[in-house]
Structures are given as structure tokens and as C-alpha cells.
Chains A and B, each alone.
Chain A
Amino acid sequence: MTKPILDVRNLNKEFKVKSRKALFAKPASVRVLQDISFRLQEGETLSVVGESGCGKTTLGRCIVRGINATSGEVVYRTEGGEAVDYLKLKGAEAKKFRKDIQMIFQDPYSSLSPRMSVFDIISEPLVASFKLSKAEVEEKVSAIAEKTGLNASYLKRYPHAFSGGQRQRIAIARALITQPRLIVCDEAVSALDVSIQAQIINLLKDLQEQYKITYIFISHDLSIVENISDRVAVMHLGKVVELAAVDSMFRQPRHPYTEALLSAVPQPDPDSKKDRIILEGEVPNPANPPSGCHFHPRCGYKTERCLKEMPAMREIAEQHFAACHYADELTLRGARK
């Protein structure tokens, strides 16, 4: 059996926003993450999808502690099986585990410091986490550079000399150098061209196989998600509305929002069916969410009940969870025949 590596329990995040009404008004709060819970097994890829503003990036950042969650637990299990609540750790305690949980960012143009050489960029996490001699650092950096397809002669150069795809390789090398067990990839391939995108996805998959890395893959592109993940979590307005294995979800989604997302993906195939579901209107404002089910203003299946009652997450089929009142009655269209 695989062993669990991360257990996210009731994670909440609120942001305070200034009220525009009055200068000294109490700041209002926006709940960006609402009771997010899921469990990750070692070596699997969980994708988090959703529209912009649904909180998927915030979720990633809360897990790596780029920002601090308001409440909830992120229980990390070390290699020895010891469970620690990563969010409660402080200072040196937290630093001990930072090397295990790394992150790759979306934009390889702004996530690499222009004033550090590639060698410095890649070696920085190593120097911060371990006490190593100069020779050891050099050895590790060149080993990882080779793994990620970077030429050793590139290491003295600065990021401006590289194309987007190569910059993303540098970012991957930086994330890998501490031999992490979990990597949060926040839209790691979105900014890249199609042909380069495929290279990076393959690289991520190869590395996963070699080192048994666990990925949380945050993306809005469902065709990539299908290609890279074992399980998928669909987020809408700060909540996970569906969580299932990729096959199960793409064959038969159980939440109308997932169905709409799947049908909206333009297919590079002139013969594909064109009867897509077009969601009316815009993503609702999280500062002022709709009553009942947050998705009801855009849902084609809504009833009176959806306006009043917030649906709870429940298991519809084996290991297939959805938060919709009618999840087991509706027959929704998936992306596969």
C-alpha cells in the first residue's frame, strides 16, 4: 500500500479587505478558502483546477506556507512516518521540513532573480537547508542540471539569457535540489508554448517516476490535467466541489460545474462535438457569495433547494466525492465516450 504524505484538514483562509464605504470602517473579510480537506498519497499527482479567483493558488501557497492559513491543519508525514502539523511549526522547526516541500511558480520570468547566476539560483535552497562543502554543492548542482536538461555551461549565465522553457527548467532544478518529497506546481506550464509545454510535462513525469515525488498540480488547463494527474480536485469559490480519480471524473463528472468546465475546453479536432454548455454570467464575487450553493446562479440544473441550502461534500461513487444536492440523480456528460 502507498503511504499518506500530506493530510489537509479544514483549511481556511480569510483575507481582510478595506471597506470602500468609510475611511475607518472595520475591514471586511473574504473567505478565500473554506474548509478544504484532502489526503495525499506518496507519489501521486493531485491536480487542483478552477477558474481564476477560485482560490487554487492560495491553497498552494498555504500548503508551502508562503502565506499563513487562518485555521486548519496541514499534517505532513515524514519519511519515518512521524506526523507533524506543518502550519504550527515555527522557526528552525519549520525549516527542517521546508526542504521537503517545494514550489514551482507560474511565470519563469518573474520567479528567477535577474541578479543571480543560474548556479546561485539553483544552489540557494541547498545552501539554506544543508551544511555542505563548496565541492559538494557544485556536484549536486551539476547533477540536477543534467537531470533537468540544462547544459553545465549555462550555470554561469544569468536568467535573461534563457528562453521561457529553459527558465522553467531552472525553476524545476531549484525545486528539486533539496530532494523534496512534495512539490506544489502552480500553473507550472501555463506560460509556455505548446511544444515546450510537452517537454516540461514529460520531464515532470520522469522525475516523479525516478524520485517518487508527490505533486500538487495547480492548473486551469483540463487537457493537461488529464494527462498528468491521478486525482483531481475541482474548486469553485474557495471550496472543493468535486474530488475524484481522473478517470472517474472525466468519464462521468458528478458536479454540474465540472461538466461545464470539461465541455468548455476547445478541442483541436474539427470533428469533435460542438454542443457545449456555456455558463451564463461571471464568476460570483467571493466577498459576497450567493446564497445556498455558490454555483447556483450559473447552474443549468438548479432548483429551489439550491438557492437555500449549501450542499455538503459526500461520496457519490467509490472515492468520488461531490458537493451537489443532485449528484447521484443527474447524468452529466464527461469528456470521454
Chain B
Amino acid sequence: MTAEAAQPQQPLLRVRDLKIRIQMDNGVMNAVDGVDFEIRRGRTLGLVGESGCGKSLTSRALIGINPKECETSGTIAYTSSQEPEAKGEPLNLLALNPNGRKIRSIRGRKIAMIFQEPMTAFSPMYTIGNQIMEAILIHRTRNKKEAKRIALEMLGKVGISDQEKRFDQYPHEFSGGMRQRAMISMALSCNPELLIADEPTTALDVTIQAQVLELMKRLQREFGMAILLVTHDLGVIAEMCDEVAVMYLGKIVEQAPMKDIFRNPKHPYTKGLLRSMPRLGGSKAKRLESIEGSVPIPVNMPPMCGFYDRCKDRIEGVCNARSVPATRISDSHTVRCFLYSEQPGGQQR
């Protein structure tokens, strides 16, 4: 694809200090609290965390589809390599009017998204073909015949047989796995540079999940798009990703290449998460290690490490006294924990 050739040095998307605040009755919730990451062309970044950690809000902020209550700040610099609009010049997506013409020409066209619930993401009132064509008609062509041809081709690419018949069927006539395939075909119909996949296989059976993951990998090779994969399943991460960002309570606590996260995790939360995951090959006699306690609600949080209450390695007077800066421990590995911080107090132990 043209992607890698154009600007190898510029990442496709660079997110800096992304903050999402939600005004609640009892205070301000810092749902996303200073998130930095980059997505490189043709690569896959995994965003992993438990429910409520802000991973979905983060991914939705990229295309400006969060509800109005979310006050969003920071920058999302998007450097396109297709099209005339941005010739090497990064474009701050957050500065755009979320209902404006500009973002609408990017949303769905350059940055597409697939959702967790293939049951609810489609409208039950229109045929699958009609809904796939809608995206194509908005972004690619005005010619209905041409749009239908593209839609049928896409349905074939995602492995739906008998496309002509399927094209005129309604979502309820599709099974869960088929709907997810149809959604992928819709998202990829405009050949996007970035695909945001929010828990794409969580609602599916393992056998169907394996099919869909395989399909996503194949299409990534074919189309060369980057993927932002939002999930809570570390198994899916190991399968799909080049890089991983672990989120906890609105912050990225650790970020590294995928293999480093699994072989050499640093943050106590990442370690705990890996240990508490049951994996094949264990037996009943083995007890699972769990992380004690539960995720606090980030309303009116004082500046401290959000994981403090559940952490086995916490340092009193340090971890609960101020907010934790990100420490770079190697070129590609950053961790947000005082155990690795060079600041005084961090290395006391």
C-alpha cells in the first residue's frame, strides 16, 4: 500500500494528553486522564483493561462520537497519507467540530469502527446491503450500481457466501458471527487507514471468534490498515497485536511491544492481570491468583496512583502522595509506577 512509503517517520495517529472529564452529581469523573499513545501505519495497537478503565471512551474520542457530557481535551494528531487534505501536516482531530464536514469526511472513510454488539450496531429496519451501501454512497461514489458492486465484493471478501441473496436480507436473518463479518465489510468498504475495533469478538463463541480474528488479520495484510484493538482479553491481544497499552482507571499504566508485555511485565497491575488469567494447561489444584479489591470509581480522585489500594508492592507515603509520572525503561517500554521511577522516593526500597 501507499501507506508505509509516504511518511515512515510520522505515525498515523499521535494522541497526546487526552483527557475526558464527565461532570457527575457528586463531582468530576476523570474517566480518561492524560493518555498518550501512537498508532503506526499498518500495525496493531491493543488497548487492554477492565470495564470502566476508559478504553472505550478513548477509542471513541478518536472519531468524536462520545456523548456531549464528555469534556475532551488534549490533541489527536492525525497524519493522512492518502488524499490531498493533509500532506504530511498533522491534523488535530479534537479541534474539529464533531458535527462538521471535515470530521465527517474522515469518520467512516479514513478511520472506521466496528463495535462489540453486532446485534445492536445494525439498524433492524434496513437490509444489510442497504446499510453497507450507505457508507459507500457517502464516501466513495454517487453511483448506486457501482456502490452495490463494491458492497457485494466486500461481502465476498469477509467470507459471506451467496452475497446476492444476503445483500437483501435483514440483520435478524444473520447469525452473530455473520453480522460481525458484515460489520467488518461495512467498515472496510471505504478502505480506511485505521480500523478501531471495540471488543470485536467478545459477544461471539470461541469457534466464531477464531474465524473473525483470522479474517481481521487477513484483511489487514490485504488492505494494509492499522488497527486499534480495544479488548479485555489478553488471549486476543497475544494473537493480534504488535504493541499493547494497558489501561487502568483512565491512565495507561504500561505500554510496550506485545512480547515484552507478556514476557517481561513491569507494572504490578499488568503482572496481576496476567497471573489472574486462567489458561489452558492448568489444573484444578492450582489456585488462581487474584487481584484483591475492585476498581474504584474515579470521582474526585486525589493525585495518587489509582492502583494503590490493590497493589502488593505499594510504598506508603510515595504512591499515595502524588500522581505517578510515566517512566521510560527502554526505547519502547514505558511504565507508570514509582517502583521504576528515577525520582527520589521511587528507588528507596
- Measured CB to CB, the closest approach of chain A to B140, in angstroms, equals 30
* Interface presence of A278 (CB below 8 A): yes
Contact with B along A218-254 (1 / 0, CB 8 A): 0011111011111000000000000000110010000
- Knowing A220-B206, A282-B177, say if A194 contacts B238 (CB, 8 Å): no
Partner of B283, one of A199, A202, A247, A278: A247
- Measured CB to CB, the closest approach of chain A to B271, in angstroms, equals 11
Is A265 touching B51 in the complex (CB atoms < 8 A)? no
* Of A123-131, A150-158, A176-184, A267-275, the one touching chain B: A267-275
* Of A23-31, A64-72, A92-100, A256-264, the one touching chain B: A256-264
Is A194 touching B50 in the complex (CB atoms < 8 A)? yes
* Of B146-154, B272-280, B323-331, the one touching chain A: B272-280
Contact with A along B21-53 (1 / 0, CB 8 A): 000000000000000000000000000001100
Is B177 touching A195 in the complex (CB atoms < 8 A)? no
> Which size bracket describes the interface of B in this complex?
35 or more
* Interface presence of A266 (CB below 8 A): yes
How far is it, in angstroms, between the C-alpha of A267 and the C-alpha of B233 when the chains are bound? 9
* Interface presence of B178 (CB below 8 A): yes
* Interface presence of B214 (CB below 8 A): yes
Is A194 touching B277 in the complex (CB atoms < 8 A)? yes
Interface centre among B175, B208, B258, B259 (most CB of A within 10 A): B208
* Interface presence of A51 (CB below 8 A): yes
Q: Which residues of A contact B279 (CB under 8 A)?
A: 223, 267-269
* Interface presence of A332 (CB below 8 A): no
* Interface presence of B216 (CB below 8 A): no
Partner of B278, one of A201, A260, A262, A266: A201
- Knowing A202-B287, A205-B287, A278-B210, say if A336 contacts B280 (CB, 8 Å): yes
Within 8 A of B (CB), among A162-196: 163-166, 193-196
How far is it, in angstroms, between the C-alpha of A51 and the C-alpha of B203 when the chains are bound? 12
- Knowing A195-B50, A198-B290, A282-B175, say if A270 contacts B280 (CB, 8 Å): no
Is B284 touching A336 in the complex (CB atoms < 8 A)? no
* Interface presence of B134 (CB below 8 A): no
Is A226 touching B283 in the complex (CB atoms < 8 A)? yes
- Measured CB to CB, the closest approach of chain B to A30, in angstroms, equals 16
* Interface presence of A335 (CB below 8 A): yes
Contact with A along B250-261 (1 / 0, CB 8 A): 000000001100
Is A165 touching B177 in the complex (CB atoms < 8 A)? no
* Interface presence of A197 (CB below 8 A): yes
Partner of A227, one of B175, B206, B237, B284: B284
Known contacts A227-B283, A246-B283, A335-B281; 4 further A-B pairs (Cβ under 8 A): A195-B290, A195-B291, A229-B284, A266-B209
A residues near B, CB below 8 A?
45, 51-52, 163-166, 193-199, 201-202, 205, 220-224, 226-230, 246-247, 250, 260-270, 272, 274, 276, 278-279, 282-283, 335-337
B residues near A, CB below 8 A?
50-51, 175-178, 205-211, 213-214, 232-239, 258-259, 262-263, 272-274, 276-284, 286-292, 294-295
Offer 15 A-B interface pairs, CB within 8 angstroms, sorted by A: A166-B294, A198-B289, A198-B291, A199-B291, A199-B292, A222-B280, A226-B282, A227-B288, A267-B235, A267-B279, A268-B234, A270-B259, A279-B211, A336-B281, A337-B281
